Structure 1
Amino acid sequence: MAERTFIDAEKFALSFADAAATPLDDKTEVVSAAKKYLLSYLTAYYLVEDFNGIEKENFKSQTETHFRDMTFEQLLDRVQHLNKY
């Protein structure tokens, strides 16, 4: 089986959320900042989960061409197709 890319959704989401977090000058903004952090975390988490599911499907099929065997044009077509979801 070809090597596949796997992103650890939890690690990615935590890193993404940490990068989006900024120090607070105003302590009254803690709830707002926590909501932004949670939104960043959940957005990244589910985005990566979707990616992993789509990527797994692409490597599961033995009848389709794998990414590594595609021409650039085929890969571009596949990416455009995946972006429709």
Structure 2
Amino acid sequence: MVKDPDGLDLSGLLDVIEREMAAAPGRLQWQMNTTLAHIGIENPELRARAVAIGERLRVLEDYPTSPGCTSPYAPTWIAEMVARAET
């Protein structure tokens, strides 16, 4: 997804993530969350949908994050990386 997104159905991936991420086992949930964040970071046209999915599912919202590090909670992660890219 990150290295070669050409040809991927990103909207379809968001459908799967939205439907399955909350109940997915730990490692799969982490990977789905990472995919959700990267879709939101790299695709402005899908960003609002990615953030909305993250806000609704709240996966990793309470994950402990060290000071100065970016949270893996997708809405926070997306906002931080987009803000960094704009500076």
Above 0.5 in TM-score? Answer: no
Taking structure 2 as the reference length, the TM-score comes to 0.25
Q: Which has the higher contact order (CA 8 A, sep 6+)?
A: 1
Q: Radius of gyration: which is bigger?
A: 1
